[in-house]
Amino acid sequence: MRYLIVGCGRVGSALANLLDADGHEIIVVDENPAAFKRLGKHFKGHVEVGTGIDYDVLKRAGAQRADGFIAVTDGDNRNVMAALIAQRMFKINRIVARIYDPPRGAMYRELGIDTVCPTTIGAKLIRDVLMEAPWDTLQSFDFGKVTSVSATIEAADAGKRVADLEQPGKIRIAAIRSGKSVRVAANDTVLAEGDEINAIVAPEAISEFALMFPTGAPTDRMTA
Amino acid sequence: MFILIVGGGKVGSYLTRALLAQNHEVVVVEKQERKARTLEALLETNVAVIGDGCDPQVLQQAGISRADVVVADTGDDEDNLVVTLIAKKHNSGARCIARVNNPRNKLIFESLDPDDPVAVISSTEIILDVLNEHVNAQRDRQAEVP
């Protein structure tokens, strides 16, 4: 796939390298030619100097042939404008814009632009690290209205059924990993010590969930 | 009429002065406090709201929902675009006027609401048009010389 990334800051350059390593064709646009140094010497994609909110610059970068468009400059307004140009003038299907201000992210989603808000995600990760939560926040949906977390079953909960740990509308256990096998949880699945559960948790139940699993050993966190 | 202007620079202040003289109600949203104070001192009235005009809450405080006309005249196209987006969302009946620097950006503003298009003003384009007119007139005159 061909992806166009506007903004070669820390996130833009890291994303460019990730997608490049996955074998995609990457074009990075930035006003400041010095910013491309961040891409490092292994980057195989292309660069284009110019502002991402200019039709001609995006056309030079090959926007008309892009499968996806990512706007990650340091300005929210600039990102939304670049995304709108990509959507309306170049008809690119997949568009993602970074928006720091959460209410504005919601407004832009109504326009058909997927937004990622590092403010909300960052705050949650920092909270988890600060509280030394024994569970991992895997993914938040719609600004944390639902969060997917994982936790390890301790001796105290061994022998309990999935339904014993669930709370209707608040905590739902989705999958269980025992050793190397993973299965979809059923109400009467009996849990064993060391099992890793993956649960979907409502925001009001997050602290409750943390209290239910206070001593589990932190596994690899998603903090990197 | 109630006219909400976002951007209290030179364009914004001259516009405000002219509109106040025509007895319109005007509020100017300006991010920089110093600029807002200068504007108020110049016009000798309290017309300024200090805040980021790209923040929906600031525009609501400034009265966007009852505005007859919303003018986005900051020096940055992306800021004017966001002001226009907020205006279309919070007050679909208001007439929107936006200033753009890059004439290429006109199309994006016009695509926001095809049913009630934004009036887009590009001084770059106006200057270009006048220039081209002049160039063409000169050429015609030279062609007439035997």
- Determine whether the interchain pair B77/A81 forms a contact, defined as Cβ–Cβ distance below 8 Å: yes
Query: How many interchain CB pairs under 8 A, A with B?
Result: 53
How large is the greatest C-alpha to C-alpha distance in chain B, in angstroms? 66
Chain A residue numbers with beta carbons less than 8 Å from the beta carbon of B79 are 77
- Determine whether the interchain pair A81/B85 forms a contact, defined as Cβ–Cβ distance below 8 Å: no
What is the per-residue pLDDT for A106?
83
Domain assignments of chain A as residue spans, ordered by start:
2-116, 121-212
Report yes or no: B79 at the A interface, CB cutoff 8 Å: yes
User: Which fold would CATH assign to domain A121-212?
Assistant: Alpha-Beta Plaits (3.30.70)
- What is the DSSP code string of A79-118? HHHHHHHHHHTS--SEEEEE-SSHHHHHHHHTTT-EEE-H
Residue B47 distance to chain A (closest CA, Å) = 25
Report yes or no: A81 at the B interface, CB cutoff 8 Å: yes
What is the per-residue pLDDT for A138?
64
Helices and strands: H and E segment counts in chain A: 7, 11
| Low-confidence spans in chain B with pLDDT less than 70 | 146
- Cβ atoms of residues B96 and B72 within 8 Å: yes
- Cβ atoms of residues B63 and B56 within 8 Å: no
- Determine whether the interchain pair B54/A88 forms a contact, defined as Cβ–Cβ distance below 8 Å: no
Number of domains chain B is built from: 1
- Cβ atoms of residues B65 and B91 within 8 Å: yes
**A55: nearest CA partner in chain B:** B104
What single letter denotes the amino acid at residue A179? G
Predicted ipTM of the assembly: 0.86
What single letter denotes the amino acid at residue B100? V
Per-residue pLDDT of chain A (224 residues; tens, 9 = 90+): 999 999 999 999 999 999 999 999 999 999 999 999 999 999 999 999 999 999 999 999 999 999 999 999 999 999 999 999 999 999 999 999 999 988 888 888 888 899 998 888 888 778 777 776 656 666 666 656 777 888 888 888 899 999 999 999 999 999 999 888 889 999 999 999 989 888 888 878 877 887 787 654 444 443 33
**B81 closest CB neighbour out of A55, A77, A107:** A77
Pairwise CA distance, residues A174 & B138, whole Å: 77
What single letter denotes the amino acid at residue A191? L
- Determine whether the interchain pair B78/A55 forms a contact, defined as Cβ–Cβ distance below 8 Å: no
**B53: nearest CA partner in chain A:** A77
Helix (H, G, I), strand (E, B) or coil at A174: strand
Label residue B130 exposed, middle or buried (CB < 10 Å: 0-12, 13-18, 19+).
exposed
Boundaries of domain holding B83 = 2-144
What is the per-residue pLDDT for A133?
62
Report yes or no: A55 at the B interface, CB cutoff 8 Å: yes
What is the per-residue pLDDT for B108?
93
- Determine whether the interchain pair B102/A54 forms a contact, defined as Cβ–Cβ distance below 8 Å: yes
User: Which fold would CATH assign to domain A2-116?
Assistant: Rossmann fold (3.40.50)
Chain B residue numbers with beta carbons less than 8 Å from the beta carbon of A84 are 81, 108, 111
What is the per-residue pLDDT for B84?
97
Which of B108, B110, B120, B122 is the best mutation test for A, with the most CBs of A within 10 A? B108
The CB-side HSE value for A32 (13 A sphere, CA atoms) comes to 9
What is the per-residue pLDDT for A205?
83
CATH number of B23's domain: 3.40.50.720
**B78 closest CB neighbour out of A75, A101, A104:** A75
Q: What is the tens place of the pLDDT at every residue in B98-133?
A: 999 999 999 999 999 999 999 999 999 999 999 999
What is the per-residue pLDDT for A30?
98
